[in-house]
């Protein structure tokens, strides 16, 4: 049959026959493939969401763990614990809540900076040598005379300690032959003499 001889009516009459000849399973197969693809896509999306959720939970737990460790460190305090056998202090780390009990009941002390007190006058010198108040230490480095237990400061800087200096605020450096911390009155006339250790006397009038 030639297409030229086909009318609209004959084409419409032939259409149901053509459709009837198509395999019924073709349409179903296409629908099934589409459904499978859609299912795989949904599973993939769910899997991605699940992975993100797991990572988020791990991250939150990790952050909580870090915060918890930091908090635990902040709550700890260094205390000098007195050893009954050696009668010496050593540093231990206790919780803030336990500090008071250690200080009151065990004879412990707070850790700090302690310096060598070689003359035993309660004043240290030099650099820090201990974190605890063990024998031979002091909690300061103020000793200007680390080998003289009778002196620790020299206010006027003349080399004579304040306890022995009879003129605490007078710098007698170079004019103090008798070492009393005052400018000498070499001729006894009541007027101080700026007599340098190697120079002649010259009274100030």
Report residue 90's pLDDT band, with 50, 70 and 90 as the boundaries.
very high
Q: Which domain covers residue 177, as residue numbers?
A: 154-205
Q: Are 57 and 87 contained in the same domain?
A: no
In a domain, 21, yes or no: no
Residues 57 and 92 in one domain: no
Does any domain span residue 191? yes
Q: What local confidence, expressed as pLDDT, does residue 150 receive?
A: 97
Examine residue 17 and state whether it is found in any structural domain, yes or no: no
Residues 200 and 167 in one domain: yes
- pLDDT tens for each residue of 127-183: 999 999 999 999 999 999 999 999 999 999 999 999 999 999 999 999 999 999 999
Neighbours of 29 (CB within 10 A): 11
| Residue 83 shares a structural domain with residue 123 | yes
What integer pLDDT is reported at residue 15 of this predicted model? Answer: 59
Is the domain of 161 the same as that of 177? yes
Q: At residue 126, does pLDDT exceed 70?
A: yes
Residue 93 included in any domain: yes
pLDDT at 133: 97
**19 located within any domain:** no
Query: Residue 116: in which H helix or E strand, if any?
Result: strand 114-116
Q: Do residues 134 and 84 share a domain?
A: yes
The total number of structural domains that make up the chain? 3
pTM beyond 0.75: the answer is no
143 belongs to a structural domain: no
- Asked whether residue 194 is assigned to any structural domain, the reply reads yes
Whether the CB-CB separation of 113 and 128 falls below 8 Å is answered with yes
d(CA 52, CA 45): 11
Lowest mean pLDDT among 60-69, 77-86, 186-195: 60-69
Do 55 and 70 share a domain, yes or no? yes
Question: Does the residue 163 lie in any domain?
Answer: yes
pLDDT at 204: 44
Q: For 179-205, how does the pLDDT look when each residue is reduced to its tens digit (9 = 90+)?
A: 999 999 877 777 776 665 544 445 443
160 and 189 in a common domain: yes
Residues 82 and 49 in one domain: no
Domain end marker among 25, 54, 74: 74
Are residue 70 and residue 80 in the same domain, yes or no?
A: no
Angle of CA points 69, 82, 125, to nearest 5°: 95
Sheet of 137-138: strand order equals: 125-130, 114-116, 137-138
Do residues 55 and 81 share a domain? no
Q: How much is the mean pLDDT over the chain?
A: 79
* pLDDT at residue 189, as a whole number: 73
Regarding whether 132 and 162 lie in a shared domain, the answer is no
For residue range 95-104, what is the model confidence (pLDDT) as tens digits? 999 999 999 9
């Amino acid at each position: 049959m030639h297409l030229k001889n086909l009318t609209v009516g004959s084409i419409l009459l032939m259409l149901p026959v053509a459709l009837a000849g198509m395999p019924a399973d073709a349409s179903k197969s296409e629908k099934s493939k589409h459904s499978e693809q859609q299912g795989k896509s949904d599973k993939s999306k769910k899997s991605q969401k699940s992975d993100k959720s797991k990572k988020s939970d791990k991250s939150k737990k990790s952050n909580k763990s870090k915060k918890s460790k930091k908090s635990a460190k902040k709550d700890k305090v260094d205390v000098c614990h007195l050893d009954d056998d050696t009668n010496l202090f050593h540093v231990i780390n206790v919780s803030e809540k336990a500090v008071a009990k250690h200080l009151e009941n065990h004879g412990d002390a707070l850790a700090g900076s302690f310096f060598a007190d070689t003359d035993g006058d309660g004043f240290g010198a030099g650099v820090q040598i201990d974190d605890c108040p063990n024998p031979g230490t002091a909690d300061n480095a103020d000793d200007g005379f680390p080998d003289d237990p009778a002196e620790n400061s020299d206010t006027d800087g003349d080399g004579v300690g304040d306890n022995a200096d009879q003129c605490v605020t007078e710098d007698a450096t170079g004019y103090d032959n008798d070492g009393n911390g005052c400018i000498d009155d070499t001729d006894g006339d009541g007027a101080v003499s700026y007599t340098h250790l190697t120079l002649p006397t010259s009274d100030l009038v």
